[in-house]
Amino acid sequence: MNVNRRHLLTGTVGAAAVALTASACASEDGDSGSGGGKKVGIAMPTKTSERWIFDGDNLKASFEEQGYEVTLQYANDVAADQVSQIETMIGQGVNVLVIAAIDNKSLNGVLAQAKESDITVIAYDRLILDTPDVDYYTSFDNTKVGTLQGTYLVEKLGLDAGEAGPFNIELFAGALTDNNTKYFFNGAMEVLQPYIDGGQLVVLSGQTDLEQVATENWDGAVAQDRMETILTSFYTGGQQVQAVLAPYDGISRGIIAALDGQGYTTMPPVTGQDAEVDSVKYIIDGKQAMTVYKDTRALADVTVDMVVAVIDGKEPEINDDSTYDNGDHVVPAHLLEPVSVDVTNYQAELIDSGYIDEADLA
Ligand code: GAL
């Protein structure tokens, strides 16, 4: 994937272009933007997932273009380490914190410290819960991510066109510590549940509750283990898994490894999210059916624009002020549109837009 360059984005990515503001476009030379030496702390969850590396790189590059001094930290999915990193950033005198939380409920204490120091706090992609001290939220339409995944499976199986089935499906969700997980899962289940109720889709494992299907730390190896257990416990009489709801590409590849290990030569449709290079290769090879592409370059742009507006004392651009109640208040949000990508449109969406270099797919 490519590091963000605003001037490239305006021509190629509609959502990003709409989100750009005049102030954000002002500076390309690294030191004359609105930042004026102000400090931003960026706390990202982990480097094990490709997307967060690009989110971090894109944010850092865009903030630096605006003249901000940037500290970027990853916490290897350990919530307590993320809290300490944020404490250190507060100690360094940051003016703004941009946080993609590992555990959405572990940050209340440290954010209270941030507020005492008058720091603007932006929840990046993952909402931070139960605290008054988060100012804004930038993300995608997370429910739509799930509905795109569910709809893809329904269409692939022909259920929308009257296929009766029954088809065997297994369900996977993300980490329970991530606020997005329930939005993704509920969005998908809005589409799938009527077919489960009608008997056209059958979950042989019987595991349909979010708590049963969640995956600790979004870890592909954890998902692989669970899929293996399901296959060896519930698919012993020659039954085949015919579809898998998977929330994120790392989990999808774990599931595919388990199916591979059990001798599946043709993969059932398995969904995904994040358009990771390894999964796009799987899509081209027919091993993974789809992914949900979220342009993290555009998310970085929206986030930087928001910070620039706040620092300049202007109103940031918000397009949702009702969906994301964090348990304390509805957090004003800027949400972008996710896109369903499979073998038919990956070229246009991912390569032609410059999100992935074609050479990386070889
Ligand atoms: C979610 C994010 C997804 C995916 C997942 C695992 O919070 O919205 O795009 O990256 O975490 O990292």
> Does residue 344 lie within any of the structural domains?
no
* Residue 284 sits in the same domain as residue 315: no
Q: Is 54 in the pocket of ligand 1 (CB under 6 A)?
A: no
User: In DSSP terms, which residues pair with 40 in a beta bridge?
Assistant: 70, 96
* Residue 159 sits in the same domain as residue 289: yes
pLDDT for residue 282: 98
Which residue's CA is minimally distant from atom 9 of ligand 1? 274
Determine the atom of ligand 1 nearest the C-alpha atom of 142: 8
Identity (one letter) of the amino acid at 91?
G
pLDDT for residue 236: 94
Which residue's CA is minimally distant from atom 4 of ligand 1? 248
Q: Is 133 in the pocket of ligand 1 (CB under 6 A)?
A: no
Q: Is 82 in the pocket of ligand 1 (CB under 6 A)?
A: no
Candidate of 50, 52, 180 to mutate for ligand 1, largest count of ligand atoms within 8 Å of Cβ: 180
Q: Is 49 in the pocket of ligand 1 (CB under 6 A)?
A: yes
307 CA to middle of ligand 1, Å? 22
Identity (one letter) of the amino acid at 241?
V
Nearest-CA neighbor of 322 among 333, 311, 312, 313?
333
CA distance 141 to 158: 26
Q: Is 178 in the pocket of ligand 1 (CB under 6 A)?
A: yes
Q: Which domain holds residue 242?
A: 142-293
Which burial class, exposed, middle or buried, applies to 172 when counting CB atoms under 10 A from its CB (0-12, 13-18, 19+)? buried
> Does residue 172 lie within any of the structural domains?
yes
Identity (one letter) of the amino acid at 168?
N
CB 291 within 8 A of CB 276: yes
Report the CATH number that the domain containing residue 65 is assigned in CATH. Answer: 3.40.50.2300
DSSP run (H or E) holding 199: none
CA distance 347 to 316: 33
Low-confidence ranges of the chain (pLDDT < 50): 4-32
pLDDT for residue 27: 37
pLDDT for residue 3: 52
* Residue 164 sits in the same domain as residue 107: no
Strands ordered across the beta sheet of 96-99: 69-74, 39-44, 96-99, 120-124, 136-140, 333-336
DSSP run (H or E) holding 165: none
330 CA to middle of ligand 1, Å? 21
CB 301 within 8 A of CB 12: no
Residue 46: left if φ>0, alpha if ψ -120 to 50, beta else—which one? Answer: beta
pLDDT for residue 33: 60
333 CA to middle of ligand 1, Å? 17
* Residue 169 sits in the same domain as residue 310: no
> Does residue 302 lie within any of the structural domains?
yes
Candidate of 1, 46, 47, 51 to mutate for ligand 1, largest count of ligand atoms within 8 Å of Cβ: 51
> Does residue 311 lie within any of the structural domains?
yes
As a three-state string, the secondary structure of 95-123 is CEEEECCCCCCCCHHHHHHHHHCCCEEEE
> Does residue 343 lie within any of the structural domains?
no
pLDDT for residue 34: 67
* Residue 112 sits in the same domain as residue 41: yes
Pick the last residue of a domain from 277, 293, 309: 293
> Does residue 47 lie within any of the structural domains?
yes
* Residue 280 sits in the same domain as residue 301: no
pLDDT for residue 37: 81
76 CA to middle of ligand 1, Å? 14
Rg (Cα) of the chain, in Å, rounded?
21
Q: Is 77 in the pocket of ligand 1 (CB under 6 A)?
A: no
* Residue 151 sits in the same domain as residue 253: yes
> Does residue 350 lie within any of the structural domains?
no
> Does residue 273 lie within any of the structural domains?
yes
Q: Is 143 in the pocket of ligand 1 (CB under 6 A)?
A: no
Q: Is 182 in the pocket of ligand 1 (CB under 6 A)?
A: no
Residues with Cβ within 8 Å of 209's Cβ and at least 6 positions away in sequence, in order, are none
Q: Is 63 in the pocket of ligand 1 (CB under 6 A)?
A: no
Q: Is 276 in the pocket of ligand 1 (CB under 6 A)?
A: no
| First vs last C-alpha separation in the chain | 14
Pick the last residue of a domain from 234, 262, 293: 293
33 CA to middle of ligand 1, Å? 30
CB 243 within 8 A of CB 167: yes
* Residue 202 sits in the same domain as residue 244: yes
* Residue 89 sits in the same domain as residue 201: no
Count of structural domains, the chain: 2
Q: Is 274 in the pocket of ligand 1 (CB under 6 A)?
A: yes
Q: Is 85 in the pocket of ligand 1 (CB under 6 A)?
A: no
* Residue 157 sits in the same domain as residue 172: yes
* Residue 161 sits in the same domain as residue 181: yes
pLDDT for residue 50: 87
Identity (one letter) of the amino acid at 143?
T
pLDDT for residue 1: 57
* Residue 147 sits in the same domain as residue 289: yes
Q: Is 301 in the pocket of ligand 1 (CB under 6 A)?
A: no
pLDDT for residue 36: 76
Can you tell me whether residue 153 is helix, strand or coil? helix
104 CA to middle of ligand 1, Å? 13
Pick the last residue of a domain from 242, 272, 293: 293
Identity (one letter) of the amino acid at 240?
Q
